[in-house]
């Protein structure tokens, strides 16, 4: 295993469970690639500029473009919520703001639990 993926809270799980079996399989495949490939192609994992370290995991199906916002901590990929269907070329600013908010909440929670 190249990197560990941690699912924070149940945000991703809720999104994942709403998908049909074909889409779930595609998501599983991309997560496997992200987990087990040392240098993940941008086609599957891309850093989002000007977002304070957010990345998007990119899942393409025949009819859907799915994005899963995440970030790294100690070589672990933390999955946030922001799993959403992309409808335009650019990642929606609203989704990035949600991702940034959840990243802050993650660190707030972590800091409180270590005190």
pTM: 0.87
Q: Which residues contact 51 (CB under 8 A, 6 or more apart)?
A: 96, 99, 100
| Secondary structure (DSSP) of 74-85 | TTEEEEEEEEEE
Please give the Cα distance from 27 to 23 (Å, whole number). Answer: 6
Answer whether 23's CB lies under 8 Å from 64's CB.
yes
Token readout for 96 is 């990035």
pLDDT tens digits, the chain, 115 residues: what are they?
688 888 889 989 999 999 999 999 999 999 999 999 989 999 999 999 888 899 999 999 888 899 999 999 887 877 776 788 877 778 888 988 999 999 999 999 888 887 6
Domains of the chain (ranges, CATH numbers): 4-113 (3.30.2310.20)
Token pair in block for residue 6: 């941690």
Closest CA to 2 of 33, 25, 30: 33
pLDDT of residue 90: 80
């Amino acid at each position: 295993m190249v990197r560990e993926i941690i699912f924070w809270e149940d945000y991703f799980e809720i999104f994942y469970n709403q998908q049909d079996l074909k889409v779930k399989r595609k998501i599983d495949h991309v997560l496997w690639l992200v987990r087990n490939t040392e240098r993940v192609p941008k086609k599957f994992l891309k850093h989002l500029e000007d977002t304070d370290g957010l990345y998007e995991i990119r899942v393409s199906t025949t009819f859907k473009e799915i994005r899963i916002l995440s970030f790294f901590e100690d070589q672990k990929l933390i999955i946030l919520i922001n799993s959403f269907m992309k409808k335009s070329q650019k990642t929606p600013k609203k989704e990035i703001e949600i991702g940034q908010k959840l990243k802050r909440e993650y660190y707030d929670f972590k800091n409180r639990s270590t005190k």
